[in-house]
Structure 1
Amino acid sequence: MSVHTLNGDIDGAVADLIAGLEAEPHGQVAPSVYETARLVSLSPWLGGHAERIAFLLQTQRADGGWGPPQGYALVPTLSATDALLATLRSTGPRAHRDHVAARLAPAVARSLQALTTWLRADLLVPDTPGADLIVPSLVAGINQHLARLEHLAVPCLEPWYGGRLGLPTGMDDGRLVRVRQAVAAGVDLPGKLVHFLEVLGPAARAAGIRPAGPGTVGASPAATAAWIGNNESGSSSNQALAHLATVAGGGPVPCPLPITVFEAAWVVSGLARAGIRVEVPPRIVESLRAALNPLGTPTGPGLPADSDTTAVALCALGHLGQPVDPGPLWAYETADGFCTWPGEDGWSVTTNAHVLDAFGQHVSSGVDPEPRYMAAIDRLTVALQERQQPDGQWRDRWHASPYYATMCCALALQDFGRGPTPVDAVARAVDWVLSTQRADGSWGRWDGTAEETAYALQVLLAARPRADEVQAAARRGYAYLCETAGREPAPPLWYGKELYRPLAIVRAAVLAALHLVRQRHDITAATVTTTAPKPRQAASKPVIRDA
């Protein structure tokens, strides 16, 4: 932990944050229950195995589940349950097996009870990426374990001998079966599905898949482990194994990883948009430029390009005085706006807000744009307003909190929306934010968090910074951030295979909000604790600690 006095050293906190982008080359992401559990099942021989099991036991909730509230708990709970069952069934001599069972069986019994209760209650499964592949795959794996559970003779698991879990209402295994059959038949796996390679079982031998960048498959430790487990030794396998050992040697693992471009783009653009002077090392600038190609840029090695990361990377380069023509974004244009990637199921308001940012920044730079840029800005202005909720908020498919989506849309419309109506949309967003502040000064979907409070403050301070009610709300939010940032229990809110927490990006959002409040309200200095990695030489391992 590093403590900075905001009176004069918020710049120091920013400098530490930027230094961390170089010091941690894979990115900074909190540990993942889902991904850690997949390694327990797929790679028990990998260093850090005991630590991964300990992590699962330590993070189990009192109700038997894992992860965030509501349906977001299903994927991590299924993954952890399957992993612990696999460990119970794979232990060696009877004495050792009894020792392991004494530690793991009570946790498994609680998780099976939780899963049985949820699935009977028609649990609503959120639209997290790959859920229709991951959930059927894990349920089938758990059912295979339950069919053989009786051989363990563990009393607390007797209620589940020979039992079976069902799938959530409205979900079947049809897509998983089709994908496995297609890959087994030699059909190349689409790039975005490589991230979920672990669901394919033996079909993970898919031809044509090769590690990317530092040795990752699909920017996922689980996908990398699945690929290693189904390939003969060779230079590619050795590269992937070395990468996995680096990532997983300490035990729990994050996902996605690497997130090189995504992290740098969001950190730089978020800080710069708030008016913070950002001194970025040339290597980071060059990495952003180098990642761009005719289809844009991916989140990091092992993933396909997407318009969301492309748009934010373009904005970051623009803020750094290195503008790049946003032409690659046209590859994602649809009749309704811009897709995150071709064939996307659904429409993302935050992706389209970021595209509006990129086009708006390009037009504002003084370059004489093609007419279609102006036409796209007009279309996006209308499309975002049409998707605003009646109470003034926005919701999105890439983040669990409406405060993130509302910030993205409100700032894009405030800065680059065309016509008179964006003013009204932003005003409604401000009213919603004001109406949902908690008594302790925070904002949050489930509980107040520093991350969501930072997003809420940015909405208020972009639109009506001098209004009396905004000033009062901003002061309360500022006090909450100074008291809790870096110390509060920090839930994951970003959509991945399960919800995850990109640590550097969240810290950047908090610092941006603190800076805005101080600049626009002349707030007396306070002390805030921020979690930031100390720069070090040639870091070989990503930061995966929670913040």
Structure 2
Amino acid sequence: IGFEQLDHAAIPQLRALNGSIHNSPSATAFVEIATNGSVEGRSYLDVLLNRYNGVVPALAPFELFEIIWALHHLSLNIELNSLRPAVDSFVEFLSCVWTEKGVGFSTTFVPDSDDTSLGLRLLYEMGLYVDPLVLERYEVEDHFQCLPFERNISLDVHIHIVHALKSAQDFPRRDDMLLKALNILGRYLTTEYIVDKWHVSPYYSTSHAIIGLLELSDNLIAKQIKWLLKTQRDDGSWTFYPHHPQAAIEETAYVLMALMAVYEQKGDIPIQAIDKGYRYLSQYYTSVETLPALWIHKVLYNPYHIVKAVILSTLAKYQDLRKKTTMVVM
């Protein structure tokens, strides 16, 4: 679209309370250039430029995304209630901004099924009820949309919807929604691993699928569990990018999360594989800021708080797991 094609009459409807055009610095800058500019648009851009030392992220702010994804990964490894009162303010904020459409990655952006499904799961886990019927807003004929008009299905969205529905056991439509999500996942879990459009590593989506489907549809994830075990490297790590420095640190954390979940539920994972993975992760992880960007948006990025929650909770989970066993780490 060129400057001359911009619908000036639509701008007020697109502008968020923070002055942005849908939380997009690039769209906001485009509108500022194409028009005579605005106080609110310029203020939004100036705040970002000052905060990020002259550069800006693809989208901002994204405060709900950080809260939801960090708490979700913590909850996969640790009982969230054990982290109270540290997590209470975040949970209260999520509850307060919940709408009839759920939530998005920010209070100044439209809701989506990804943030909504995980937000629903977190609120349930913390004893706060929200109506799972909100997921119907994202339901289409044979799958769930992340947002209207999306061009390709997100497998991670369906994994997260499974997580949410597993928590909502009294929801009348739980079973038929679960079946719809499982049917989509079943189409793609015929291969050893899966990839999605939000993260470059198949270890991310594959590990999350294993955790989500465990004890719900074990036959769908048997091949993926075997793939995780057979692709462990000699140093104990996992990575799809052996020539990308330090990518293995984040990837190894995801695999350990999945293998520890399977070990706890089924006990048929060699504990030595988990031990080796833990030794690698504990030895080489130093700072999340030094890790490569593996998450996908307009560019690759590294959401520090989320990745830190993944790694630290995985290390803590291993220590807790080992306390429950009589085996000694070799």
Scaled to the shorter chain, the TM-score interval is 0.7 to 0.9
Aligned twin of 1:460: 259
* TM-score where L is the length of structure 1: 0.53
SS at match of 2:74: helix
| Aligned equivalent of 1:236, options 36, 40, 45 | 40
Q: For residues 231-310 of structure 1, what are the structure 2 equivalents within 5 Å?
A: 231-232=35-36, 234-237=38-41, 239-248=43-52, 250-276=53-79, 277-279=82-84, 280-310=86-116
| Gap runs ≥5 in structure 2 | none
Q: 1:487 to 1:439 in 2, by over 3 A?
A: farther
**Would the aligned equivalents of 2:105 and 2:115 in 1 still touch at CA under 8 Å?**
yes
Q: For residues 32-181 of structure 1, what are the structure 2 equivalents within 5 Å?
A: 179-180=1-2
Query: Quick one: which amino acid aligns to residue 174 of structure 2?
Result: Y
**Would the aligned equivalents of 1:494 and 1:500 in 2 still touch at CA under 8 Å?**
yes
Q: 1:389 to 1:402 in 2, by over 3 A?
A: farther
Matches of 2:196 and 2:234, distance apart in 1: 26
Aligned twin of 2:230: 435
Matches of 2:135 and 2:195, distance apart in 1: 23
| Aligned equivalent of 1:369, options 171, 184, 193 | 171
Aligned twin of 1:210: 15
Residue correspondences, number: 318
Aligned twin of 1:518: 319
Aligned twin of 1:220: 24
* More displaced stretch, 334-343 vs 237-246: 237-246
SS at match of 1:509: helix
Cα displacement (A) at 1:313: 1.2
Q: Does 1:494 align with 2:299?
A: no
Q: Does 1:390 align with 2:196?
A: no
Write out per-residue CA displacement over residues 436-477 of structure 1, whole angstroms, 9 at most, x where no aligned residue: 112221111113522111111111111134757531111111
Q: For residues 351-366 of structure 1, what are the structure 2 equivalents within 5 Å?
A: 351-363=157-169
**Would the aligned equivalents of 1:219 and 1:258 in 2 still touch at CA under 8 Å?**
yes
Larger radius of gyration: 1
Identity %: 28
Cα displacement (A) at 1:284: 1.8
Cα displacement (A) at 1:212: 3.2
| Gap runs ≥5 in structure 1 | 1-178, 189-205, 527-547
Q: 1:221 to 1:486 in 2, by over 3 A?
A: farther
* TM-score where L is the length of structure 2: 0.86
| Aligned equivalent of 1:348, options 146, 154, 162 | 154
Aligned twin of 1:135: none
Q: Which has the higher contact order (CA 8 A, sep 6+)?
A: 1
Aligned twin of 1:331: 137
Q: 1:381 to 1:471 in 2, by over 3 A?
A: same
**Would the aligned equivalents of 1:217 and 1:240 in 2 still touch at CA under 8 Å?**
no
| Aligned equivalent of 1:477, options 277, 289, 296 | 277
Matches of 1:182 and 1:230, distance apart in 2: 8
SS at match of 2:13: coil
SS at match of 2:204: helix
Cα displacement (A) at 1:340: 0.6
Write out per-residue CA displacement over residues 220-260 of structure 1, whole angstroms, 9 at most, x where no aligned residue: 33333334334446542454244234324x23333332111
**Would the aligned equivalents of 1:255 and 1:500 in 2 still touch at CA under 8 Å?**
no
Cα displacement (A) at 1:499: 1.3
Write out per-residue CA displacement over residues 282-320 of structure 1, whole angstroms, 9 at most, x where no aligned residue: 432232123322222111144321100111111122222
Matches of 1:287 and 1:345, distance apart in 2: 32
Write out per-residue CA displacement over residues 395-451 of structure 1, whole angstroms, 9 at most, x where no aligned residue: 111111111111221111115x3xxxx212232221110111122211111135221
Matches of 2:114 and 2:310, distance apart in 1: 17
Query: Quick one: which amino acid aligns to residue 67 of structure 2?
Result: A
Write out per-residue CA displacement over residues 194-222 of structure 1, whole angstroms, 9 at most, x where no aligned residue: xxxxxxxxxxxx45332434x44333333
**Would the aligned equivalents of 1:231 and 1:237 in 2 still touch at CA under 8 Å?**
no
Q: 1:210 to 1:402 in 2, by over 3 A?
A: same
Query: Quick one: which amino acid aligns to residue 301 of structure 2?
Result: Y
Query: Quick one: which amino acid aligns to residue 400 of structure 1?
Result: V
**Would the aligned equivalents of 1:395 and 1:406 in 2 still touch at CA under 8 Å?**
yes
